[in-house]
C-alpha cells in the first residue's frame, strides 16, 4: 500500500514537473523540430536523390 | 542546504531538457512515418486501376507492376508512368485481347518490401504476371537482409546486426545520415543559374515558323549549300538528327570545302550514335581547313582565361570539352565534359557527347568501343549498395577479409539477398500459378553481372533496362532536366518498350 502511494506520488511529482515547467522541455523540443524541418527542406532542395523517398 | 536544492533543480532542468529532446525525436519519427503513410496512400490513389471491375474477367490479361519511384512514375502524369504505357503498347500489339496493367509502385521501397507484400496484392488483383523491380538500394533498409545473411552469423553477431539494422531503419537516423552524406554526383547542380542561362540559348533555338522559313529557303535555292546548312542546323536543334545529317550531307555535296559543314555533321552523327561516321566527319575538318587547329587552340586559351575567373561555371567546362573534342584530344574532352556534368548534370547533350568521346577514344586506339560500357545514365549510384559492408564491419568489429570469407561483403550480400528475395517471389508465383519478370531500372553498373547471374540461375526472365539505356545514343534525353535521376515521359515510354520486348522474347503473354 505504502509503495503504491509512493509510486503515485512519484508520477504526480513528474507530472507536476512537466506541466509546471513546460519552458524547459518545450523549448528544446521546438528547436529540434524546427531544425529538423530545416534539414528536410535542405535535403529536398540541395541533395535530392532517389534515396530521399526512403526518408518517409 | 540551499546548495543541495540548487543542484537538484539543475538535475531536474537537465531531465526536462532530455525529455524535450526525446519528445522531439519521437514526434519527428512519427511525423516522418505519417508523411510516408500519406505518400503511400496518395501513390495508390493516383495509380488506382482504371478498370476496377475488369481484372476478374477471364479474358483480361492482368499484369501487376511492383517497384519504387521508377514504377510509381514520380514527376509525370499517371498516364505517363511505365505500367500505363505498357498497357497501351500491349493493347496496340494484340488488338483482340484485353489487358490491364496495375501500377502498385511505392516510392523509396525495395525488392524485399514488394516480395513480402506480394501475396495480398495477388489475392486482390489475380494477375497473370508480376513485374518486379530490382534497384541499387537493395541492401539498404532491407526487410529480408538479416534473414538472408543469418546463416553466417552467431547469436551475438546477430543481436549486434539486428540492433544496427533497427537503428538504421529509424527515419530520424536516416535524416541525419542523409544530411551528412556526400552530395550525389549526379544531383542537380547548386549552380542552377548557370544552367538556366545555358538552356536559354537552347530555348532561343528555332521554332516551327523558323523551320518553315528555312525550308522555303532550301526549296528556292536548292543549289545553295548555306541554305542546306542552316536548315540542317535547325533540324538538329529540334533533335531531328537524321534529317539534319541528310541535309548536311547535301550541303557538303554542294561545297565540300567548308569545315563548318563537317563539324555539324559530326555532332549529328554523334547524337545518332553513329560514332565512326562522326569521327570521319571530324577528321575531314582538318583536311579542308588547315587553320582549324590553330584557331581552336586560340579559342581554348580564351575559355581558360574565363575558367580562372569563373571556376564553377559548367558552361565553360562544357565548351572546353567541346573544343578539345574538336581538336581530337578526347582525353581532355572527357575530363572537362565530366566536370561540366558534375556541376550541371542537366546538360542533356553532354551525356551523348561523353559517350561519343569515349567511343572515339576507343576507335582511335583500335579497340572495339562497344566493350567499354560506362555509366552515363544519371541514375547511377554506384557504391551505395555496398555501403552496408562498411556498416557491418563496424558493427561486428570484424576486418573486411574475414567478412568476405563469411560471404558478407557488398557484392555477396547483394547476391544472397537478391537470391533470397527472388526465390521467395518464385515460390509465391509457383503456388499462385503466375509468371514473374524482373526489370532493373535504377540499378547500377557494378550490380549488373549479379542481377543477370541470379535471374539466369533462378530462371526468372529479366528485362535488361540498364543495358538498353547504355545502348541508347543519348540517355540524358530520357531523364528530367530538374531531377536528373528521375525519368521523364519519354524515359517511361522507353522502359515500357523494353519490358514489352522482354515479355515477347520470353513468351510471357501467350503462354
pLDDT tens across A29-49, in order? Answer: 999 999 999 998 888 877 666
Per-residue 3-state assignment (H helix, E strand, C coil) for A1-56 = CHHHHHHHHHHHHHHHHHHHCHHHHHHHHHHHHHHHHHHHHHHHHHCCCCCHHHHC
- What pLDDT does residue B77 have? 87
The model's confidence at residue B249, banded by pLDDT at 50, 70 and 90, is very high
Give me the mean pLDDT over the B189-212 stretch: 47
Give me the mean pLDDT over the B205-223 stretch: 72
How many CB atoms are closer than 10 A to CB B99? 21
- What pLDDT does residue B6 have? 42
Considering only residues B306 and B505, tell me which one the structure prediction assigns the higher pLDDT.
B505
Instruction: Flag if A47 and B28 touch (Cβ within 8 Å).
Output: no
Instruction: Flag if B35 and A46 touch (Cβ within 8 Å).
Output: no
- What pLDDT does residue B305 have? 85
ipTM exceeding 0.90?
Answer: no
Whether residue A1 has pLDDT greater than 60: no
Q: Are B398 and B89 in contact (CB under 8 A)?
A: no
Surface of B (416-445) touching A: CB under 8 A: 442
Helix (H) or strand (E) holding B437: strand B435-439
- Is B94 within 8 Å of chain A by CB? no
Among the partner residues A26, A48, A52, nearest to B20 by beta-carbon distance: A26
Query: What residues of chain A lie within 8 A of the CB of B140, using their CB?
Result: 51, 54
Instruction: Flag if A55 and B175 touch (Cβ within 8 Å).
Output: yes
Residue percentage of chain B with pLDDT more than 90: 28
Residue percentage of chain A with pLDDT more than 70: 75
Surface of B (281-340) touching A: CB under 8 A: none
Q: Are B297 and B320 in contact (CB under 8 A)?
A: no
Give the distance from residue A4's alpha carbon to the nearest chain B alpha carbon, in angstroms: 23
At how many degrees (to 10) do helices B225-237 and B259-272 cross? 30
Among the partner residues A24, A28, A53, nearest to B24 by beta-carbon distance: A28
At how many degrees (to 10) do helices B410-432 and B387-396 cross? 110
Give me the mean pLDDT over the B188-206 stretch: 41
- What pLDDT does residue B174 have? 84
Cα–Cα distance measured from residue B441 to residue B372, given in angstroms and rounded to the nearest whole number: 20
Helix (H) or strand (E) holding B1: none
Give me the mean pLDDT over the B36-40 stretch: 87
Instruction: Flag if B175 and A53 touch (Cβ within 8 Å).
Output: no
- What pLDDT does residue B265 have? 94
Query: What residues of chain B lie within 8 A of the CB of A50, using their CB?
Result: 68-69, 135, 137, 379, 381, 442, 485-486
Query: What residues of chain A lie within 8 A of the CB of B107, using their CB?
Result: 53
Instruction: Flag if A55 and B171 touch (Cβ within 8 Å).
Output: yes
- What pLDDT does residue B205 have? 46
Query: What residues of chain A lie within 8 A of the CB of B187, using their CB?
Result: 46-49
Average model confidence (pLDDT) for chain B? 80
Cα–Cα distance measured from residue B280 to residue B405, given in angstroms and rounded to the nearest whole number: 51
- Is B155 within 8 Å of chain A by CB? no
Give me the mean pLDDT over the B193-222 stretch: 60
Whether residue B463 has pLDDT greater than 80: yes
- What pLDDT does residue B9 have? 77
How many CB atoms are closer than 10 A to CB B480? 19
Query: What residues of chain B lie within 8 A of the CB of A39, using their CB?
Result: 175-176, 179
Whether residue B213 has pLDDT greater than 70: yes
- Is B485 within 8 Å of chain A by CB? yes
Q: Give which of A13, A15, A28, A49 to mutate to test B binding, by max B Cβ within 10 Å.
A: A49
- What pLDDT does residue B188 have? 31
Query: Which of B183-192, B231-240, B457-466 bottoms out in mean pLDDT, i.e. has the lowest?
Result: B183-192
What's the predicted TM-score (pTM) here? 0.65
Cα–Cα distance measured from residue B334 to residue A41, given in angstroms and rounded to the nearest whole number: 34
Whether residue B191 has pLDDT greater than 60: no
**pLDDT, tens digit, for every residue of B327-344?**
998 888 888 887 777 666
The model's confidence at residue B253, banded by pLDDT at 50, 70 and 90, is very high
The model's confidence at residue B263, banded by pLDDT at 50, 70 and 90, is very high
- Is B16 within 8 Å of chain A by CB? yes
- Is B218 within 8 Å of chain A by CB? no
The model's confidence at residue B26, banded by pLDDT at 50, 70 and 90, is very high
- What pLDDT does residue B204 have? 47
Q: Give which of B11, B23, B135 to mutate to test A binding, by max A Cβ within 10 Å.
A: B23
How many residues in chain A? 56
Give the distance from residue B353's alpha carbon to the nearest chain A alpha carbon, in angstroms: 24
Give me the mean pLDDT over the B411-416 stretch: 83
Give the distance from residue B302's alpha carbon to the nearest chain A alpha carbon, in angstroms: 32
Give the distance from residue B195's alpha carbon to the nearest chain A alpha carbon, in angstroms: 15
The model's confidence at residue B56, banded by pLDDT at 50, 70 and 90, is low
Cα–Cα distance measured from residue B291 to residue B277, given in angstroms and rounded to the nearest whole number: 23
- What pLDDT does residue B166 have? 85
Q: Which of B31-40, B171-180, B196-205, B494-503 has the highest mean pLDDT?
A: B494-503
The model's confidence at residue B469, banded by pLDDT at 50, 70 and 90, is confident
Whether residue B206 has pLDDT greater than 50: no
Considering only residues B490 and B484, tell me which one the structure prediction assigns the higher pLDDT.
B490
Whether residue A2 has pLDDT greater than 70: no
Query: Which of B7-11, B353-357, B389-393, B427-431 bottoms out in mean pLDDT, i.e. has the lowest?
Result: B7-11
Amino acid at each position: 500500500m505504502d509503495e503504491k502511494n509512493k509510486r503515485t506520488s512519484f508520477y504526480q511529482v513528474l507530472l507536476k514537473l512537466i506541466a509546471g515547467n513546460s519552458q524547459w522541455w518545450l523549448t528544446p523540443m521546438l528547436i529540434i523540430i524546427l531544425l529538423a524541418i530545416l534539414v528536410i527542406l535542405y535535403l529536398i532542395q540541395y541533395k535530392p536523390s532517389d534515396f530521399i523517398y526512403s526518408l518517409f | 542546504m540551499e546548495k543541495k536544492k540548487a543542484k537538484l533543480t539543475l538535475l531536474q532542468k537537465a531531465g526536462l531538457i532530455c525529455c524535450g529532446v526525446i519528445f522531439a525525436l519521437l514526434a519527428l519519427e512519427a511525423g516522418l512515418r505519417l508523411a510516408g503513410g500519406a505518400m503511400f496512400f496518395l501513390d495508390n490513389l493516383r495509380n488506382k486501376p482504371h478498370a476496377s471491375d475488369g481484372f476478374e474477367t477471364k479474358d483480361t490479361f492482368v499484369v501487376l507492376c511492383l517497384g519504387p519511384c521508377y514504377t510509381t512514375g514520380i514527376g509525370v502524369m499517371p498516364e505517363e508512368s511505365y505500367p500505363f504505357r505498357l498497357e497501351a503498347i500491349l493493347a496496340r500489339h494484340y488488338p483482340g485481347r484485353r489487358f490491364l496493367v496495375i501500377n502498385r509502385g511505392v516510392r523509396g521501397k525495395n525488392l524485399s518490401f514488394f516480395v513480402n507484400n506480394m501475396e495480398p496484392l495477388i489475392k486482390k488483383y489475380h494477375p497473370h504476371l508480376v513485374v518486379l523491380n530490382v534497384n541499387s538500394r537493395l541492401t539498404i533498409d532491407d526487410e529480408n537482409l538479416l534473414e538472408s545473411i543469418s546463416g553466417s552469423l552467431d547469436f551475438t553477431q546477430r543481436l549486434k546486426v539486428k540492433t544496427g539494422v533497427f537503428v538504421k531503419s529509424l527515419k530520424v537516423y536516416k535524416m541525419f545520415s542523409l544530411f551528412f552524406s556526400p552530395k550525389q554526383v549526379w544531383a542537380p547542380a547548386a549552380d542552377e543559374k548557370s544552367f538556366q542561362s545555358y538552356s536559354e540559348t537552347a530555348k532561343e533555338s528555332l521554332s516551327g515558323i523558323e523551320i518553315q522559313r528555312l525550308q522555303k529557303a532550301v526549296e528556292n535555292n536548292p543549289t545553295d549549300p548555306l541554305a542546306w546548312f542552316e536548315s540542317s542546323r535547325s533540324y538538329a536543334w529540334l533533335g531531328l538528327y537524321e534529317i539534319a545529317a541528310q541535309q548536311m550531307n547535301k550541303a557538303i555535296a554542294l561545297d565540300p570545302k567548308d569545315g563548318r559543314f563537317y563539324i555539324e555533321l559530326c555532332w549529328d552523327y554523334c547524337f545518332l550514335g553513329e560514332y565512326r561516321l562522326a569521327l570521319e566527319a571530324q577528321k575531314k575538318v582538318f583536311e579542308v581547313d588547315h587553320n582549324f587547329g590553330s584557331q581552336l587552340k586560340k579559342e581554348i586559351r580564351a575559355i581558360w582565361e574565363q575558367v580562372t575567373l569563373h571556376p564553377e561555371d559548367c558552361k565553360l567546362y562544357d565548351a572546353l570539352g567541346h573544343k578539345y573534342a574538336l581538336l581530337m584530344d578526347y582525353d581532355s574532352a572527357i575530363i572537362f565534359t565530366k566536370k561540366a556534368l558534375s556541376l550541371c548534370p542537366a546538360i542533356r547533350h553532354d551525356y551523348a557527347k561523353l559517350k561519343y568521346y569515349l567511343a572515339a577514344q576507343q576507335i582511335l586506339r583500335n579497340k572495339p568501343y562497344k566493350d567499354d560500357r560506362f555509366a552515363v545514365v544519371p541514375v547511377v549510384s554506384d557504391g551505395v549498395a555496398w555501403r552496408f559492408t562498411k556498416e557491418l564491419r563496424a558493427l561486428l568489429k570484424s576486418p573486411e577479409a574475414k567478412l568476405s570469407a563469411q560471404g558478407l561483403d557488398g557484392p555477396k550480400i547483394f547476391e544472397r539477398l537478391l537470391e533470397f528475395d527472388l526465390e521467395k517471389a518464385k515460390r509465391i508465383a509457383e503456388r499462385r500459378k503466375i509468371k514473374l519478370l524482373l526489370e532493373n531500372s535504377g540499378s547500377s553498373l557494378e550490380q549488373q553481372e549479379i542481377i543477370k547471374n541470379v535471374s539466369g540461375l533462378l530462371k526468372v526472365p529479366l528485362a535488361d533496362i540498364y543495358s538498353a539505356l547504355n545502348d541508347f545514343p543519348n540517355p540524358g534525353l530520357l531523364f528530367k532536366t530538374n531531377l536528373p535521376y528521375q525519368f521523364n515521359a519519354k524515359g517511361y515510354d522507353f522502359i515500357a518498350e523494353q519490358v514489352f520486348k522482354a515479355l515477347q522474347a520470353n513468351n510471357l503473354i501467350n503462354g
